[in-house]
Each structure stands twice: as structure tokens, then as C-alpha cells.
A and B are shown apart, each in its own frame.
Chain A
């Protein structure tokens, strides 16, 4: 499977909204494999979205399982993901495969209730928070033609104390 070419800023195709997946077939599964391989080939990315490789369909992959002390749901392939509910907000630093050599602070919701479909169209539902929730919101933005640079806040805007999670409250 070939590693796909990642579009980078200022490619206009990154601003194009993606459409829902309707056909769950072998071709989709093959694309997901290629997308995952592309994510792994990059610099430690925990997520990737289909439009980052020029395919404007609502497909994202998020996998925070490689990070120590990070509550996560493992390797997630999320088709047609939607945020059903969100709570809280927190500033965190983000980078992006499509924006090389830049990181910036972005405000994201801390806790999400997420609905999506799996690679075969099966319905999925998750409650997630913190780092994993941030990754999902970052990838969801790609599906709407947004990059994190569209949301970066000034360093001086860091007014909000980083939320401290109660240890052992999630997963594990």
C-alpha cells in the first residue's frame, strides 16, 4: 500500500468541506488502510483526516493509545463522525501534518459525546475527554475545511488554568 501525499498549507483543497460516506465497500477499506499507513509515516501524528490526502469524505483516524497516561479508546476509524454533546474548554498546543514547522495554542472542548460509524457502517458511540477529545476535534475540523491555524489564540490568551484530571477516573 502506498503512502499518500499529504496536502499542506496553503493548498486550497484543505478548505473544502467533505461529504458523508454512503458506500461502505472494499474500496473504502483499502483507502482507510492507506490513510493509516500515511498517518504512521508522519511525525508522531495521533490523527489524520481524509481531506488531508485530497479525499473529501468524512473519514478520520485517531489513535492515542501510544501515549502514556492518556485516556483513550484505542485505534479509532470514525466515518461520518458527529459531536452530539460537548462540555468545558481548555487550551492546548497543536500541530498538524498539513502545517509543517508550526505549533500553536487552540481552545477545544474537554469532553465529548461522539457518534460515528465504523468502517463497515456499524454505529459507534463514545464519551471521550482530554487529549483524545482534542485530537477528534482537530480531525473533525479538517472535514469542515478548517485548520488549527484558523483557531490559534494568542500566547497571552492563555488565561485558563490547565484542567487537572482526577487520577484513574477514566479508562484504565
Chain B
């Protein structure tokens, strides 16, 4: 049984972060698993499953020089469970609205009340500084019907948020 860590690295975006970090991990004998790497604002963020036989302290030591050089903050979380645990989303929720506080909390509260399990949430603030628009895309699993979800989310529309719920059809061929 492999032991996995989820390694978080965050720092000012610049070219070469991924190649330098993964080179260090590779040379330290680590195996990489699933990852999410994305630029958020001006920062580059890495969430990366890393496994290896060496103690976590050694992993932190191995990453320290490259983290210092590239200005990355590093965090390790030992986790249970490894690969091959994918869940397939069956519902997609798209949200847009003039940016204000509380949109995510309000939408996800409605979803949580319906037993919706979020597998993936990505959001952006677009438009411009004077008229920012919030766009959020959620994919997840939910046993309730589309109509149940639409009804649960209907109240948000009158509060100025546009919410679209659609099934995700999986075609296996």
C-alpha cells in the first residue's frame, strides 16, 4: 500500500515552477498521482498527490531549496486512499451574476441541502473592476432529479444570480 501526501505549493506565477518542482520530486524518488495546477489571480497554485517511501521530513527538505528560490509556500497533508477512486459527475451547475459576497455560500447551501456532492468547482471573476461578474462552474453527483435541483435553486434567481442546472451525459464507447 502506497502512502500518499497531498502537497500544496503556492507562489507568485512565473514560468518554470512545474518543471522545477516535479524534477526535484522525481529525483527524490517520488511518484506523482492526480494533480490540479492552475493560476489563480497572480499566483500559481499546485495541489499534487505525491507518494514515496521516504519520510515526509525528507520530502520537505528536498523541496525546501526550490521553494525558497521560486518563492513558493509548501504544505504537506498525509492522506488516506490513493488512485482509481474517480466518481463520474452527473450534474453540472453554471452560475453567473454581478459579483457580490455570498454567491458561493448561497448556491452551495442549496446544493448541499439536496445531497449534492461537489467533485469540481472552478470560478472566475470577470468583467472589469467597476462591474465585476462572478462565473462559477460546478460538477458533481446528486441522486435527486433535475427538477428537484432546479426548484431548490429557483429562489436564487430573484436574488440576481443566474443558475443553470444540466445533466452531464456520459457516453461510453
Docked pose: A47 CA to B170 CA in angstroms: 12
- Return the contact of B172 from the options A49, A94, A155, A156 (Cβ within 8 A): A94
Residues of the B chain whose Cβ atoms lie less than 8 Å from the Cβ of A139: 173
In the assembled complex, the CB of A80 is this many whole angstroms from the nearest CB of chain B, namely: 18
Docked pose: A1 CA to B103 CA in angstroms: 57
- Return the contact of A94 from the options B84, B86, B171 (Cβ within 8 A): B171
In the assembled complex, the CB of B36 is this many whole angstroms from the nearest CB of chain A, namely: 10
Docked pose: A134 CA to B84 CA in angstroms: 26
| A162 nearest in chain B by CB position | B166
Residues of the A chain whose Cβ atoms lie less than 8 Å from the Cβ of B171: 46, 92-95, 131, 134-135, 138
A128 CB within 8 Å of chain B: no
A-B contact pairs, 19 of them (CB 8 A): A42-B172, A45-B172, A45-B173, A47-B173, A48-B173, A92-B171, A93-B88, A93-B170, A94-B170, A94-B171, A95-B88, A95-B170, A95-B172, A95-B173, A96-B172, A96-B173, A97-B173, A148-B173, A155-B120
Interface string of B84-102 (1 = CB under 8 A from A): 1010110010000000000
Docked pose: A8 CA to B92 CA in angstroms: 29
Q: Nearest 5 pairs between A and B by C-beta? A: A47-B173, A138-B173, A95-B172, A45-B172, A93-B170
Interface positions of A (Cβ within 8 A of B) = 42-49, 62, 92-97, 101-103, 131, 134-135, 138-139, 148, 155-156, 158, 162
Summarize A's interface: helix, strand, loop or mixed. mixed
Summarize B's interface: helix, strand, loop or mixed. strand
Docked pose: A156 CA to B173 CA in angstroms: 24
Interface string of B109-134 (1 = CB under 8 A from A): 00000000000101000000000000
Residues of the A chain whose Cβ atoms lie less than 8 Å from the Cβ of B169: 92-93, 131
Residues of the A chain whose Cβ atoms lie less than 8 Å from the Cβ of B137: 155, 158
Residues of the A chain whose Cβ atoms lie less than 8 Å from the Cβ of B84: 101
Name 10 extra pairs, CB < 8 A, besides A93-B88, A93-B170, A155-B122: A46-B172, A46-B173, A92-B171, A93-B168, A103-B88, A131-B169, A131-B171, A138-B171, A155-B139, A156-B122
Docked pose: A44 CA to B172 CA in angstroms: 7
